[in-house]
Amino acid sequence: MKQSGVMATMRRSGAPVRGVLPATRLRAALSVLLLLIIGAWSSVRAETLTVALYPWVPRVDQFEYAIRVAWKQVNPDVPLTFIKDGNTWDGGYSTEPPKQADVFIFDAMYLEDFRARGLLTPMEPAEIQDAADFLDYARKAVIAEGKYWAVPQLGCANILFYRKNDAAVSSANTLGQLNTALKQCTYTSEIPPDRRGFMVDMSGGTTNATLYLDIAHSVNGAYPLPEPATPDPAYIANQRTMLAMASYWNAKSEDETPYARAKWFDQGYGRAFMGFSESMSVMSPATLANIGLKVMPLSDTTGHQKLFYVDAVGVNPATAGRGTRALAVQLANTIAATETIWHSFRQPKPGEGNPQYLMSVRNSAFQRLAAAYPIYQRMYELARTSDPVAFKLDANGRSWVKAIKGEIIAQSVAHYSCGCDQKASRPIAGNADAKAVCPIACQASGGWNGNWTNAPPAPGFVCGCNACPVN
């Protein structure tokens, strides 16, 4: 069959016959298909956002529920997945922000560290909802180079709790005055035997390092916070004072019961303790009706600004590649909104249980909470009148804590001046029996001081010894 001129030309040029795409058209088609696949993947990915919550709160499930409800009103077609396990995400103290998280709530003491390592998405001021409503210290904590690097959500500070009719503790405005009121070496057990002495958590490395900086700032007011290569003995001395006001076993207790010292205080043990505001979530109505609270005096210097912590909602930079950045920013604002905070903090059910007694960083949230729970008004006054600044470290903050925390712990317990309880080998029948049992129990702890007990809150049968193993 004779070919037309056009067909002959096509064959001579190497063009394929009908039904086979030219190479250029094939590449174009594949490119279109790839874009469709990527678009479809992005669309599916954008339909789910993952939130890594700050896990160290009284009721983390309540945060999840409140955020789900609030988000459904904002964007009902985008479901949420939550990470609540402290082993997966611990707020930034040792773990890294989960790669799958679109937003994560972290302790802003490490904001500069995260920012330097490219773990936070910068946001324009116009992207932050009701920014003027934030307490000034919290807002400043997340701003750098004119951008918001996170959205403030929670506040925190070292609070001294006591019974408000305790005039000596109530009027103590310095660590020295508090030491005079509470005295030292008043008990040697993990839990005070009655309403005596001080209780404080000095068990963890990060806890000790941040307490050291809080003490240093209380003395010298330096800000940004210096991060020395070696601890200053003058500030370590204040930690030793606090340890002696409590007991070695109380300060070093790692009781897994949440807010253990607050529960012991609620049960009538101890005269005062240092903790965070959420400690009140485990207290009875009778204790709360008589509770006194103020920012813990950490030195004999007065007049400096107080350090308050901030927990903030960060947006994962990976959201830009996932196509979820705008949704993630919207979600971060929703998590930190007053309505969400109200439902995250409030009683589990109206009239049942305590609110979480976490600190807010929004004026409007504090005001709404105070209208329902009067203690929040006192917390609000503390936050407003303390002239707070944010507890923040520099870009090497995590490395500094890791490097120095062991030395701070070692120095703070060295030459401990009080005794320690040690467990006896068996129940003690009486004073005569104690003379046989306790010298053996205390043989490696400076000898027996004459005290013993089988009664709670002691953990079984114990002997009072003159020294602690750390000596």
Per-residue pLDDT tens digits for 390-436: 999 999 999 999 999 999 999 999 989 899 999 999 999 999 999 99
Tell me which DSSP letter residue 290 carries.
T
Element (H, E) at 119: none
State in Å, rounded, how far the first CA of the chain is from the last one: 108
Q: How far apart are CA 98 and CA 95, in angstroms?
A: 8
DSSP string covering 139-189, please? HHHTEETTEESSEEEEEE--EEEEETT-HHHHT--SHHHHHHHH-SS---S
Element (H, E) at 244: helix 233-245
Structure tokens at 214: 């809080």
Give me the amino acid identity at 279: S
Question: What pLDDT does 351 receive?
Answer: 83
Tell me which DSSP letter residue 211 carries.
H
Helices (H), 47-93: 60-74
Q: Which residues partner with 423 through β-bridges?
A: 462
Query: Which stretches of the chain score pLDDT less than 70?
Result: 1-46, 470-471
Structure tokens at 303: 């007049």
Question: What pLDDT does 471 receive?
Answer: 53
The CA angle 260-297-373, to the nearest 5 degrees, is: 60
- The beta-strand segments (E) located in 2-126 are 49-52, 80-83, 103-107
Q: What region, left, alpha or beta, does residue 83 occupy, with left being phi > 0 and alpha being psi -120 to 50 degrees? A: beta
Q: How far apart are CA 393 and CA 268, in angstroms?
A: 37
CA-nearest of 409, 413, 346, 339 to 373 is 346
Tell me which DSSP letter residue 118 carries.
T
How much is the pTM?
0.88
